[in-house]
Amino acid sequence: MTSLKSQVSLEVPVAAPEVYAVLADGWSYSSWVVGNAHIRDVDPGWPAPGTRIHHSVGAWPVHISDTTVVRESVPDRLIDLEAKLWLLGTARVRISLEPLSASSTRVVMEEGAMSGPGRLMPDAVQAFLLRFRNNEALSRLADLAVGRAKAH
């Protein structure tokens, strides 16, 4: 099992199913995943294990196309992903949902390089570099979950 180098968390003022609904919407990933520029396609059945999001990263005109694959998914509890990024390798990203009450959830995001140049970085460097990006990603994910909950 890949060691996850970075862990960040955020308390979100909605129930776990509301947060999971955003995770289960593959088309929403470019709205909250920092660095993800465009979703090209989402496999039918997302987020079942083995299904993929086909995405692009980077700023125009330099887009790199690749995929993210679901390793494990438990509705309203977690999604475990393998994100691929061309020659840069792959990363494991695990997002866990911990219900705190009927209207509050702690979202925990863990990430670590699985292959490529990132595996050569010391754990502390990976954790430092990922912390800022992943804190922003959780903030965006929370905003989407809260917005969707208000709309219903």
Give the single-character DSSP code of 121: S
pLDDT of res. 10: 98
Give the model confidence (pLDDT) of 85-116 as tens digits.
Answer: 766 788 899 999 999 999 999 999 999 888 88
Q: Is residue 110 part of a domain?
A: yes
Is residue 43 domain-resident?
yes
% of the chain exceeding 70 in pLDDT: 96
DSSP character for 77? Answer: T
Q: pLDDT tens-digit profile of 20-33?
A: 999 999 999 999 99
CATH code, domain carrying 145: 3.30.530.20
Please state whether the predicted TM-score (pTM) of the whole model is above 0.75. yes
- Indicate the number of domains in the chain: 1
User: Is 1 part of any domain?
Assistant: no
How far apart CA 100 and CA 112 sit, in angstroms, is 26
Percent of the chain whose pLDDT exceeds 90: 64
* Residue 62 confidence (pLDDT) above 90: no
Question: What is the spatial distance between Cα 81 and Cα 14, in angstroms, rounded to a whole number?
Answer: 23
